[in-house]
Structure 1
Amino acid sequence: MATTQSTNLAQDGLAKRSMRDIARARLPDGKPDGRIADDKAMLRAARELTKDLGEANPRIYWPDMLACVIIGYGAMVGAILVENVWAALGLAAISVLAIYRALMFIHELSHIHRNALPGFRTAWNWLVGVPMLTPSFMYEGVHTLHHNRTRYGTKEDPEYLPLARMKWWSLPLFVLIALLAPPALLLRFAVLNPLSLVVPKLREIVWQRFSALSINPDFRRRPPEGDLKPRVLKQEVGGTLWSWALLASIALLGWKPFLVALAIFSTVAVFNQVRTLVAHLWENEGEPMTVTAQYLDSVNVPPPSPMAAIWAPVGLRYHALHHLMPSMPYHSLGEAHRRLKANLEADSTYHGANHPGLRPLVIRLSRATMSRRA
């Protein structure tokens, strides 16, 4: 198979240039070259070697998600009830990790076919999305724009900022601002959502600017269409009623349960923001990029990195591979990676997006921003 792939490289006109050189390609001003020719051999291998891995398995999705919900909420209740501080902190840590993993299934919901897992989307929303005030409508129809071949890395991409080319203080600010996400979502659903029903202009603002899980401050969301519209209505009503219940619980149960839950949700948001920080290299400045250039700007952290499955759960450790095959279910990405790694030559472009771990990625990004302190 490796010989076949090498032959294909030559046929595609890419063998004359090392894939490692392509991975490092830069324009004269130091920017990444988004015009890198697509590595057709890699793209073909990704398609042909993984044909049998595209079906979402309900026997994996359901137990995984439900176990995270039970452990996450159970540990949260324990953190609220126990008197020992260290025991409470330990239970809170368990709750953070479990709820974080449960929340990351929203990424799967934005890609899997609506008929692939009957009932899973609804169950996830009422068990995770609405209680976390991040129902799936806030990602559906948004995240797929990030995968659009002509929008990735441009000003029309809701999930892209050229962080590597921004000032040094942008990185800590990017992470710390996530602490405000839970209070902001509470404000959005408890106050702005019902108020916008009687103030049409406010409704337009709420939808365009506060109804998408995006990091691009210039992104404005378009009105929902098709079967998304009724789902938005149900999930917004659910979010508003739940947010009112949370606020009412302060009068009934006191501040401790509310504050503990808020602290756990805020920590989950920070975890996700750190993962987002290293999901890409963030080196593009708005120019359209080829699929191969997009892949190389994205990040895989495959085994043997021991912690990646924790800070990048539900397949997100294979984020670059996910950009090659967006509809592949999370439980198949590990096997897909093993097949591609085994069948593609050592100088294949595929290996250019594989990184050893979180720390080297943070250091790389930090160095890039520090070089712009002047």
Structure 2
Amino acid sequence: MGSSPKDEAGLVRQAHSLTTDLTTPSRAVYWLDLILTAAAAWGGLALAATTHGLAIGLVAGLVGLLALYRGLSFIHEISHLRPKDVPGFRLGWNLLIGVPLMTPSMMYEGVHNLHHAKDRFGTARDPEYLPLGRYSPFKLALFAAISLLAPLGVILRSGILIPLSFAVPAVRRLVRTKLSALVINPDFVREDNDRTRPDWLAQEVGCWLWCWGVAALAVAGVVPVRVVLTWFALFSLATFVNQLRTLVAHYWENDGDRMSFEDQFLDSVNVPPPALLPFLWAPVGLRYHALHHLLPRLPYHNLGKAHARLSAQLAATSPYHRVEEKGLFLALAKLFRRAGVAPALAVEADAVERQSA
């Protein structure tokens, strides 16, 4: 049952009052984290792709994978940052991570904020929501597995569709409305306006030139094919880990109806300490996903402090204490158990309805 507007305002007001000093992003933290992450990602990839030692290659590949995933996760922060918060960070991230992965920030900017819109969350107009909690286990497994093809998708988009779109208007409309947004809702259509932001256009062209440049160097033998295959493998695994994280970011129980703010919050998940592994599979603050929906302006490096304050000072009856999971595999197991039960309940309900008719 949804709460009253007064109750919802009370939860938000309490959370804001306890975290007002934590809302300012630290420019030093953002830049240092990005630079070290990019160095680990590309250094790990390079070593994994060139070493002849199996053990060294596996360790380097794991480091590269986790760092690549962490670097890619910064796209979420960028979608919430204002340009004045951390000047130049968006450009730096696109140069170090976004364009080399052909996943520029424009694919999340102007899209992710719609997921936070109270009148959209959990509905058919939400780009990042599906009733996954009502899916069958097979469909959930397919949802996770399809992410392994992400590198192939960005290569197709950047190397073929983007250059073709500049010559064929119909392809341009397709790219801008259906193929320029990181979403999980396949029915989402991005608004196609006639004006293209110069920085977004530059990101698209950058991805196009990067794709063609790497392909040309690989064909010429300058870049070993093993490097390209290692990039593909690490990127594919990173998107797979992110898809698993997505499965436990919400409870995914809504089926298109508008939700109260408290219900939206209760559909979201935190995986706080003492669990340690979320630092790796839900990096850059993503382990505090419910808290992020409550206070989306908090920078990632302050979410841990904010969570500790709210956990300690909010009343035991507060909804804030009802959205925690202990780890990735436990949360996935719960989701798949619910998914196994949901279809059976649906069949039973249909049978009852037919009998009553």
Task: Decide: shared fold, TM above 0.5.
Answer: yes
Pairing 1:74-89 to 2, within 5 Å after superposition: 74-89=43-58
- 8 Å CA contact 1:300, 1:355 repeated in 2: yes
Larger deviation: 82-91 or 178-187?
82-91
* Equivalent residue number for residue 308 of structure 2: 338
Q: Report how far residue 111 of structure 1 moved.
A: 0.4
Pairing 1:1-374 to 2, within 5 Å after superposition: 33=1, 35-37=2-4, 38-223=7-192, 229-251=197-219, 252=221, 253-374=223-344
Larger deviation: 169-178 or 80-89?
80-89
Larger deviation: 127-136 or 338-347?
338-347
- 8 Å CA contact 2:134, 2:343 repeated in 1: no
Alpha-carbon RMSD? 1.4
User: What secondary structure is seen at the aligned counterpart in 2 of 1:50?
Assistant: helix
User: What secondary structure is seen at the aligned counterpart in 2 of 1:104?
Assistant: helix
- 8 Å CA contact 1:39, 1:349 repeated in 2: no
Unaligned runs of at least 5 residues, structure 1: 1-32
Q: Report how far residue 42 of structure 1 moved.
A: 2.0
Q: After superposition, what is the alpha-carbon deviation per residue over 1:290-325, rounded to whole angstroms, capped at 9, x for unaligned?
A: 111111000001111111111100011000000011
Q: Report how far residue 36 of structure 1 moved.
A: 3.6
Q: 1:302 to 1:225 in 2, by over 3 A?
A: farther
Q: Structure 2 counterpart of 1:286, which letter?
A: G
Q: Report how far residue 225 of structure 1 moved.
A: 8.0
Q: 1:236 to 1:373 in 2, by over 3 A?
A: same
Q: After superposition, what is the alpha-carbon deviation per residue over 1:255-292, rounded to whole angstroms, capped at 9, x for unaligned?
A: 21111111011011111111111100000001111111
Q: Structure 1 counterpart of 2:264, which letter?
A: Q
User: What number of residue pairs does the alignment pair up?
Assistant: 340
Larger deviation: 120-129 or 228-237?
228-237
Partners in 2 of 1:238 and 1:224 — Cα distance?
Answer: 21
User: What secondary structure is seen at the aligned counterpart in 2 of 1:56?
Assistant: coil
User: What secondary structure is seen at the aligned counterpart in 2 of 1:92?
Assistant: helix
Q: Report how far residue 166 of structure 1 moved.
A: 1.4
Partners in 2 of 1:150 and 1:57 — Cα distance?
Answer: 31
Q: Report how far residue 205 of structure 1 moved.
A: 0.8
Partners in 2 of 1:269 and 1:60 — Cα distance?
Answer: 25
- 8 Å CA contact 1:168, 1:372 repeated in 2: no
Partners in 1 of 2:202 and 2:280 — Cα distance?
Answer: 32
User: What secondary structure is seen at the aligned counterpart in 1 of 2:100?
Assistant: coil
Q: 1:142 to 1:92 in 2, by over 3 A?
A: same
Greater share of helix: 2
Q: Structure 1 counterpart of 2:122, which letter?
A: G
- 8 Å CA contact 2:49, 2:57 repeated in 1: yes
* Equivalent residue number for residue 348 of structure 2: none
Q: Report how far residue 112 of structure 1 moved.
A: 1.2
- 8 Å CA contact 1:142, 1:158 repeated in 2: yes
Larger deviation: 186-195 or 245-254?
245-254
Partners in 2 of 1:59 and 1:152 — Cα distance?
Answer: 33
Q: Report how far residue 373 of structure 1 moved.
A: 4.4
Q: After superposition, what is the alpha-carbon deviation per residue over 1:52-109, rounded to whole angstroms, capped at 9, x for unaligned?
A: 1110101111101100000110111101110122321211110000111111111111
User: What secondary structure is seen at the aligned counterpart in 2 of 1:169?
Assistant: helix
Partners in 2 of 1:261 and 1:198 — Cα distance?
Answer: 30
Q: Report how far residue 178 of structure 1 moved.
A: 0.6
Partners in 1 of 2:207 and 2:232 — Cα distance?
Answer: 15
Q: Structure 1 counterpart of 2:126, which letter?
A: D
- 8 Å CA contact 2:41, 2:63 repeated in 1: yes
Identity %: 46
Q: Report how far residue 224 of structure 1 moved.
A: 5.5
Q: Structure 2 counterpart of 1:213, which letter?
A: L
* Equivalent residue number for residue 4 of structure 1: none
